[in-house]
């Protein structure tokens, strides 16, 4: 019977996979390649003979800075599309193609005005044929046609092989797009409300559920690795097949600096530490040392222009030396050992990736701990449905998008935090928890040397251990006192080390040096101002994302404030409560916690929820007051709110009858809310930004956009 059932399950899985693959293949063939079928009957015409451009020796046409317009008169034809065939042999770059035409509805070229929009310009990659096809919506016959090729920082001359009208679009079956579609359809099928995955409870099928979870985590790690290495301009490693231009042709893997001199703080600090110094070895220019207020950016920039001597950006300057004000733990963990072994700089992106993987594994373990030991009815389906947004909606994907030294301390702090919480949770269930407590507290304490504001998460220890050591008075026993000592000792040791480090550099046990930062504003006089709070709360939590009708549909939000002072603000893309509707469950936190309190005599989870809720708000405000409103700071607090929501969902799930219609309805709503948040997170990864792949390899980025803008 078991073998028969096993065989039927395998046959069902194979059948589902075949059906999904077949549907995806049909969509790829007939929808994503719709332009091929719509244009298959066109009669393509080469109109290059009407060009008056100068020709090159290879018979290509030349577009120059002075002559970059192609005009065609008296065509008198129906034009459905244009193809500008750029020569593939020239250097790859992106150009802006601006088209105007006259037709039966327009005797003259028409442009945008207060009542209507003209023809938008299109970005074309000179080395990507798929971007060269431009669909036109004309009225009747087209008479005159004007094509202008412009853009920013274009390398002229540009070679054009030919210009065609009414071209047949090529048929191109994209494997990547096909497999993405298969993955999306498979996820929808797996997490549908009536899926069998919701019938397998973790505590009833421990081995099978752990195997499934491990498989999912492996896929998630592969996806994160692929995304990080996709942004090759920020990775800082090279092999014979990857970033080969920076490969030394000797080593298996070559590491090299990325991001410019001002991005090497950690690497330079490791080198200085190897020489017994706590300050950077580069000397500040004399003019900076002699300034009355070196922290005034306007004054610095004026003197820099006059002298021509540059200074290091975004480092702490104090008493004639440059210092790194970012947490020192990343240097001790990654940079210093790597430098001592190789005498080269550790690639920051790899540190971000390692920390990210550690965070993902820690989140999975922590969530598994809650699901198996504190709740009874968590199914494999519900666990995975919540594990995925806990990881991918926590802001870490943006840190992976920009794996710089700014992202590393945040990512390491998050990794230490989740593992610290997990080890604490393990210790709470043991008779001899000393080792678990030491490990957990060491992780939590090391956050101080990465991202000090995230130390607020250490307050979770209060509800976790209050009942055991205060209510039951275990603290006042010899054994209990030893256990509490294990909880506190790592904090004392790490704090002592950090305070010594601060004292040795800045003469104060509690001065981390952030106020001495050479940045956009004078941090020594920034202080805390209540006027910054409203705009910060709005940007971090409530602002709706700014959407457009062009893929990837997101753009930076407009920022306005009535605060009559300096606001430090980089591009952000919407507040977490607007972008992650799963967080709306927080509106029901009080009645849901009441359900838990009625079912259990302890209030541990309620205490954890309150600490996380208050901590998340405090960290967001601290970020805004101490530094500003930046997209990467969302990772500081998003995790806390997501973890609260997961605990609340677990509580509600415990009170729903198995396989009831209400449970299926709730599951369907959850899947929808989570899907919206995941879609936003994925689109945010693709949004073009300065210094990212879309900026450095703009021509290649256009090819990626064409995978999704199949209708243009």
414 belongs to a structural domain: yes
Q: Which residue has the tokens 């799963």?
A: 582
CA distance 301 to 690: 22
Residue 307 has pLDDT above 60, yes or no: yes
Element at 305 (helix H, strand E): helix 297-307
Is there a single domain that holds both residue 8 and residue 59? no
Whether the Cβ atoms of residue 97 and residue 147 lie closer than 8 Å to each other:
yes
Residue 1 has pLDDT above 50, yes or no: no
Strand, coil or helix: what is 275? coil
Whether the Cβ atoms of residue 344 and residue 327 lie closer than 8 Å to each other:
no
Whether the Cβ atoms of residue 272 and residue 323 lie closer than 8 Å to each other:
no
Is there a single domain that holds both residue 182 and residue 241? no
The domain of 19 spans: 2-33+174-186
Whether the Cβ atoms of residue 466 and residue 436 lie closer than 8 Å to each other:
no
Q: pLDDT for 153-204, tens place per residue?
A: 899 999 999 999 999 999 999 999 999 999 999 999 999 988 889 989 999 9
Neighbours of 353 (CB within 10 A): 22
Whether the Cβ atoms of residue 709 and residue 133 lie closer than 8 Å to each other:
no
Percentage of the residues of the chain whose pLDDT score is greater than 90: 75
Q: pLDDT for 314-335, tens place per residue?
A: 999 999 999 999 999 999 999 9
Q: Which residue has the tokens 């926590």?
A: 394
More confident residue, 263 or 291: 291
Residue 359 has pLDDT above 60, yes or no: yes
The confidence score (pLDDT) of residue 393 equals 96
Q: Of 108, 135, 165, which residue constitutes the final position of a domain?
A: 165
The confidence score (pLDDT) of residue 6 equals 65
Is there a single domain that holds both residue 123 and residue 156? yes
Is there a single domain that holds both residue 128 and residue 178? no
469 belongs to a structural domain: yes
Number of compact structural domains in the chain:
4
In this structure, what CATH number is given to the domain that contains residue 57?
Answer: 2.60.120.260
| DSSP designation for 77 | B
Q: pLDDT for 628-650, tens place per residue?
A: 999 999 999 999 999 999 999 99
The confidence score (pLDDT) of residue 4 equals 47
Is there a single domain that holds both residue 146 and residue 243? no
For residue 407, which of 345, 354, 445, 368 has the smallest C-alpha distance? Answer: 354
Percentage of the residues of the chain whose pLDDT score is greater than 70: 99
Is there a single domain that holds both residue 430 and residue 499? yes
Angle made by CA atoms 236, 265, 278, in degrees to the nearest 5: 135
Q: pLDDT for 203-241, tens place per residue?
A: 998 999 999 999 999 999 999 999 999 988 889 899 988
Is there a single domain that holds both residue 10 and residue 73? no
Is there a single domain that holds both residue 509 and residue 455? yes
Whether the Cβ atoms of residue 463 and residue 448 lie closer than 8 Å to each other:
no
Neighbours of 140 (CB within 10 A): 9
Is there a single domain that holds both residue 22 and residue 54? no
Is there a single domain that holds both residue 181 and residue 283? no
CA distance 82 to 104: 18
Mean pLDDT score, 384-405: 95
**Residue 2: pLDDT band by 50, 70, 90 thresholds?**
very low
Is there a single domain that holds both residue 65 and residue 21? no
Strand, coil or helix: what is 75? coil
CA distance 359 to 216: 15
Is there a single domain that holds both residue 55 and residue 156? yes
CA distance 73 to 53: 15
Q: pLDDT for 242-255, tens place per residue?
A: 988 888 888 888 88
Residue 600 has pLDDT above 90, yes or no: no
333 belongs to a structural domain: yes
Q: pLDDT for 646-686, tens place per residue?
A: 999 999 999 888 878 888 899 999 999 999 999 999 999 99
Q: Which two three-digit tokens encode residue 496? A: 């002592």
Residue 386 has pLDDT above 50, yes or no: yes
């Amino acid at each position: 019977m078991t073998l028969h059932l096993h065989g039927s399950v395998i046959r069902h899985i194979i059948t589902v996979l075949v059906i999904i693959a077949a549907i995806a293949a049909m969509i790829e063939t007939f929808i994503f390649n719709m332009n091929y079928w719509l244009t298959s009957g066109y009669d393509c015409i080469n109109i290059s003979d009407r060009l008056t451009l100068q020709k090159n020796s290879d018979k290509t046409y030349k577009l120059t800075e002075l002559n970059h317009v192609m005009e065609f008169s008296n065509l008198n034809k129906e034009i459905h599309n244009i193809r500008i065939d750029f020569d593939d042999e020239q250097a790859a770059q992106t150009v802006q193609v601006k088209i105007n035409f006259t037709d039966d509805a327009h005797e003259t070229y028409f442009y945008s005005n207060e009542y209507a929009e003209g023809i938008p310009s299109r970005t074309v990659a000179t080395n990507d044929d798929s971007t060269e096809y431009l669909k036109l919506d004309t009225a009747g016959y087209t008479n005159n046609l004007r094509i202008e090729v412009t853009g920013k920082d274009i390398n002229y001359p540009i070679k054009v092989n030919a210009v065609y009208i009414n071209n047949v679009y090529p048929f191109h079956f994209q494997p990547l797009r096909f497999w993405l579609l298969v993955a999306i359809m498979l996820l929808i099928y797996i997490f549908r409300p009536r899926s069998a995955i919701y019938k397998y409870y973790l505590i009833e099928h421990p081995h099978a559920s752990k195997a499934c979870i491990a498989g999912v985590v492996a896929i998630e790690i592969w996806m994160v690795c692929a995304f990080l290495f996709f942004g090759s301009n920020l990775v800082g490693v090279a092999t014979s097949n990857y970033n080969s231009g920076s490969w030394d042709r000797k080593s298996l893997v070559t590491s090299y600096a990325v991001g410019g001199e001002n991005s090497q703080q950690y690497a330079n600090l490791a080198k200085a530490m190897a020489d017994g110094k706590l300050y950077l070895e580069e000397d500040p220019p004399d003019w900076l040392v002699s300034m009355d207020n070196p922290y005034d950016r306007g004054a610095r920039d004026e003197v820099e222009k006059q002298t021509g001597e540059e200074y290091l950006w975004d480092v702490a300057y104090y008493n004639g030396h440059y210092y790194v004000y970012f947490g020192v733990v990343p240097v001790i963990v990654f940079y210093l050992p790597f430098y001592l072994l190789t005498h080269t700089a550790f690639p920051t992106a790899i540190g971000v990736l390692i920390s990210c993987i550690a965070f993902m594994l820690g989140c999975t373990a922590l969530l598994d701990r809650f699901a198996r030991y504190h709740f009874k009815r968590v199914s494999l389906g519900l666990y995975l449905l919540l594990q995925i947004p806990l990881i991918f909606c926590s802001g870490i994907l943006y840190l992976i998008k920009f794996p710089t030294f700014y992202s590393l301390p945040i990512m390491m702090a998050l990794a230490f935090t989740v593992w610290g919480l997990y080890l604490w949770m393990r210790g709470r269930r043991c008779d001899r928890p000393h080792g678990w407590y030491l490990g957990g507290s060491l992780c939590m304490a090391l956050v101080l040397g990465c991202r000090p504001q995230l130390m607020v998460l250490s307050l979770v220890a209060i509800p976790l251990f209050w009942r055991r050591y205060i209510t039951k008075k275990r603290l006042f026993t010899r054994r209990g006192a030893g256990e509490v000592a294990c909880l506190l000792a790592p904090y004392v040791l790490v704090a002592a080390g950090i305070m010594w480090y601060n004292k040795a550099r800045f003469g104060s046990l509690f001065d981390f040096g952030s106020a001495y930062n050479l940045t956009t504003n004078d941090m020594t006089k920034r202080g805390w101002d209540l006027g910054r709070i409203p705009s910060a709360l709005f940007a971090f939590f409530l602002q709706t994302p700014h959407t457009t009708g062009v893929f990837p549909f997101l753009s930076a939000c407009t920022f306005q404030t009535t605060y009559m002072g300096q606001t430090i603000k980089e591009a952000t893309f919407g507040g977490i409560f607007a972008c992650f509707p799963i967080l709306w469950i927080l509106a029901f936190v009080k009645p849901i916690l009441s359900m838990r309190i009625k079912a259990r005599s302890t209030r541990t989870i309620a205490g954890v929820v309150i600490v996380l809720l208050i901590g998340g708000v405090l960290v967001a405000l601290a970020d805004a007051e101490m530094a500003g409103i930046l997209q990467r700071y969302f990772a500081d607090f998003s995790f806390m709110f997501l973890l609260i929501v997961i605990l609340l969902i677990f509580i509600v799930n415990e009170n729903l009858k198995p396989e009831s219609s209400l449970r299926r309805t709730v599951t369907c709503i959850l899947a929808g809310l989570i899907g919206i948040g995941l879609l936003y997170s994925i689109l945010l990864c693709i949004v073009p930004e300065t210094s990212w792949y879309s900026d450095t390899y703009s021509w290649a980025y256009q090819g990626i956009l064409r995978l999704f803008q199949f209708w243009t």
